[in-house]
Amino acid sequence: MYRLVYADYRGRFYDHPEMAAAGRTGDCFVEITPSEMMPLPRGASLVLIPAGSPVGLDRRGNFVLVERVRGKAAYAVAALLPQGYTRTLLPAYRRPAGEKPLPLLGYTAVAWHKGGLWVAARQTDDPYRWDPVHFNTPELDALITARLRRHPGNPVLAGLARCAREYSCFTAQNIFYRRWEGGLPVSPRCNARCLGCISRQPPECCPSPQERIPSAPPLEAVVEVMEEHLRRASGAIISFGQGCEGEPLLAAGIIAAATSRVRRRVSRGTININTNAGHTAGMEEVIAAGVDSIRVSLISARPGIYWAYHRPRGYDLGDVRRSILLARRSGVFVSLNLLVLPGLTDREEEMEALLTFVEETGVQMVQLRNLNIDPDYLFNHLPPARGEPAGIGELVNRLQKVPGLTVGNFSREVRP
């Protein structure tokens, strides 16, 4: 039996002596099955769900709200997965009406099984480059200090140093480690108002986990960081469109100018843009300058769900499609940053629309991204769903059957 995990008011967790764990998909509580579970992977962590009481299964198969255990308050527990793992079930809990939305995290069902913690997830990529063991190492601070001394007037490096130290941003840290995918934020503006935006939230929601850059950086500063990383980093990828900025295509002029200048001097490494792809004219500009790959964020290929989550301003899903087709015709590698939520992404109507979208646009990769959001907050803002969820495992299986489509979690180098 997968046993219910709960916590006390001090944050200590326990397995329930009698109650089985339950999961959630969409708005429904479900029994946990072995096919959805795996041992807690390295780099995962446990969190309390504020004001949340766990829901478990009693011996008769009834879902039961567990507010107290042995006379003491019980609190719901969730797991946060490391990169490379895709969530299959949400945690089962209830919160009182009127509570503020939960922080923007990827809440995952957790249970006690065979003497250890298990989570509702499956491994969907090689997590080596994003294993937390490679980050926040003892030498990081010295690397940051040395780089800032060599480039004392570069505001991009100064901002990335703060992100690396204060937010433990992995792509910011990679700039100083000189390896792999390095983030380069350039855009303070956005043409969408995504419900799960991690850099700007309305006061009535939850705090943003990152602070958006206040202004676009000077071109010379962008070129300096970009050129050094592409020239010297192993597995070099420069990525525009980070969590601490808006939509990078609204800064297409800076990206295009920097890309043109750097590509005249450095041919190695990949230049990538993480984008909503709504600004097709900007897309055309950066492609002409030499961008190698784009990753397009998408919660759904159905217009109603897309609009309700992304809340675009001045574009629609048709513009996204046109931008992707433009990129593919130009030889640019295209990935979808698919925002995955159990009970939404794995519904039949969603999967059919997604597979049609992939086939018609020629997308080459789907990167599965656990959507960090309060599930109740999200579903309250979406149109009612129809049909039963097929399961995240079924979603992954169907995607893996598409000829020529890569399914994973991380961006790949396009240029060596």
pLDDT tens-digit profile of 248-294?
A: 999 999 999 999 999 999 999 999 999 999 999 999 999 999 999 99
Percent of the chain, pLDDT > 70?
100
Same domain, 178 and 85: no
What's the whole-number average pLDDT of the chain?
96
Distances (CA, A) of 108 to 64, 68, 163, 373: 19, 22, 26, 11
Range of 309's domain? 128-408
Same domain, 233 and 345: yes
Residue 304 to residue 386: CA distance in whole angstroms: 13
According to DSSP, the residues that pair with 338 across neighbouring strands are: 298, 368
In a domain, 386, yes or no: yes
Contact 49, 95 (CB under 8 A): yes
Claim to verify: residue 108 and residue 139 sit in the same structural domain: no
Do 150 and 73 sit in the same domain of this protein? no
Residue 153 domain-assigned (yes or no):
yes
- Does 21 share its domain with 149? no
Residues 358, 371 within the same domain: yes
- Do residue 265 and residue 289 come from a single domain? yes
Rounded to whole angstroms, what are the CA distances from 348 to 26, 89, 181?
Answer: 13, 17, 34
- What is the C-alpha to C-alpha distance for residues 280 and 287, in angstroms, rounded to an integer? 10
Q: Is 264 part of a structural domain of the chain?
A: yes
For 77, 188, 356, the CA distances from 247, given in Å and listed in that order, are: 34, 8, 26
CB 186 within 8 A of CB 248: yes
Do the domain assignments include residue 45?
yes
Mean pLDDT on 321-336 = 98
Residue with tokens 């567990």: 66
Query: Residue 414: inside a domain, yes or no?
Result: no
Q: How many domains does the chain have?
A: 2
Q: Is residue 413 part of a domain?
A: no
- Reply yes or no on whether the pLDDT at 219 is more than 90: yes
Strand partners, 408: 367
Quick one: 30 and 101 in the same domain? yes
pLDDT at 210: 82
What does the pLDDT look like over 314-326, one tens digit per residue? 999 999 999 999 9
Q: Do 90 and 141 belong together in one domain?
A: no
Same domain, 149 and 270: yes
Q: Is the pLDDT at 175 greater than 80, yes or no? A: yes
| Paired strand residues for 122 | 86
Q: Considering the entire predicted model, what is its pTM?
A: 0.95
How would residue 209 be classed by pLDDT, with cut points 50, 70 and 90? confident
CB atoms near residue 105 (< 10 Å): 17
Domain boundary among 71, 105, 123: 123
* Whether residue 171 has pLDDT greater than 80: yes
Mean pLDDT of 11-32: 95
Whether residues 223 and 97 share a domain: the answer is no
Is it the case that residue 204 has pLDDT exceeding 80? no
47 by DSSP, 3-state: which? strand
416 domain-assigned: no
- Per-residue pLDDT, 59: 93
Predicted local confidence at residue 28, as pLDDT = 94
User: Domain of 319: which CATH number?
Assistant: 3.20.20.70
Query: Same structural domain for residues 403 and 306?
Result: yes
Q: Is the pLDDT of residue 386 over 90?
A: no
CA 150 to CA 311: how far, in whole Å? Answer: 42
| 328 assigned to some structural domain | yes
| Pair of tokens at residue 330 | 């130009």
The residue with tokens 């130290």 is: 165
> Do residues 407 and 399 touch, judged by C-beta distance below 8 A?
yes
Q: Would the pLDDT of 401 be above 90? A: yes
Domain end marker among 102, 123, 144:
123
With beta carbons less than 8 A apart as the criterion, state whether 229 and 157 touch. no
CA distance 71 to 50: 19
| pLDDT computed for residue 202 by the predictor | 78
Please give the pLDDT value at position 207.
77
Residue 394 has pLDDT above 80, yes or no: yes
How many CB atoms sit inside 10 A of residue 329's CB?
A: 10
The rounded distance, in Å, linking the Cα atoms of 40 and 142 is 33
Which pLDDT value is given to residue 385? 79
Q: Last residue of a domain, which of 103, 123, 143?
A: 123
Confidence of residue 366 (pLDDT cuts 50, 70, 90): very high
Report the first-to-last Cα separation within the chain, whole angstroms: 48
